[in-house]
A = this chain, B = another copy of it.
Amino acid sequence: MDITSHTHHISQQYNIELDDIKTHLAEMGGMAERQVNDAITAMIEVDLEKAEQVVHGDRKVNSMEVSIDEECVRILAKRQPAAGDLRLVIAVTKAITDLERIGDEASKIARQAIALSRDGAAPRGYVEMRHIGNHVSRMLHEALDAFARLDLDVALKVVQTDRTVDMEYSTAMREMITYMIEDPRSITRVLNIMWSLRALERIGDHARNIAQYVVYLVMGEDVRHGSIEEIEEQLGQDQEDGE
């Protein structure tokens, strides 16, 4: 079953428009990924210049959201897509909202990095930042990859990884609280790390959302609020049905 390409239309122009929104989504995704990775690097290396680049770069992510959204609305108005094409257009409008918010979170991390470059480095928390940052960055990359190739298995893996990230985040937060109690003079700087960890955790949530749109696209069902067990069950049934 070929699920990687949408229905082809007699109108060549319509095909181009549908391909375009997928391409532009991938571009916006690449930009959001770079923002996240640069923000993490700026934080860990207390790199003021990189942090300021990220804050400045958020405008580009925002303007891509607006322009892709306009493209989608134009397709809805002009082409009146049905079935799979309609699902694609809707999934793209949803995914760009998550990418825009990922950009916002990257920008928040960069602002914390700027604060730390001013107040002095935090005494702890960089190991946790790097570790959770790597996880979340990979989740985002794989969610975008799953969207581009409509790959259910990769999408499911992203949803599962989000659970791990949530647990690691809780552990890291408890450690940060312990540091603050041990050394109250470090409270402000440890808080900078805590806000950044929370931003990473939210980026993970948005990556999971994008992975869930892939499931929606492929299976035509809404799994946003379903548990992973339900998704796995659905996948199991789908695979059985398909074979």
Contacts and interface: CB of A to CB of B under 8 A. Distances in A.
A1 interface: no
Nearest to A104: B205
A159 to B, nearest CB: 16
Contacts of A232: none
Interface in A65-81: 65-66, 69-70, 73, 76-77, 80
Contacts of A181: 184-185, 187
A232 to B, nearest CB: 19
Contact of A177 (B66, B187, B225): B187
B86 A76 contact: yes
Contacts of A225: 59, 62-63, 65-66
Interface size class of A (residues with CB under 8 A): 20 to 34
B222 A70 contact: yes
Nearest to A69: B222
Contact of A90 (B73, B177, B184, B222): B73
A155 to B, nearest CB: 18
A124 to B, nearest CB: 15
Q: When A and B form their complex, which 4 residue pairs have the shortest distance between CB atoms, in order from nearest? A: A80-B80, A184-B184, A62-B225, A66-B222
Given A77-B82, A90-B93, 20 more contacts: A59-B225, A62-B225, A65-B224, A66-B224, A66-B225, A69-B222, A73-B87, A76-B76, A77-B83, A93-B93, A94-B97, A177-B187, A177-B188, A177-B191, A180-B180, A180-B187, A181-B185, A184-B184, A184-B187, A187-B187
Interface of A: 59, 62-63, 65-66, 69-70, 73, 76-77, 80, 82-83, 86-87, 90, 93-94, 97, 177, 180-181, 184-185, 187-188, 191, 222, 224-225
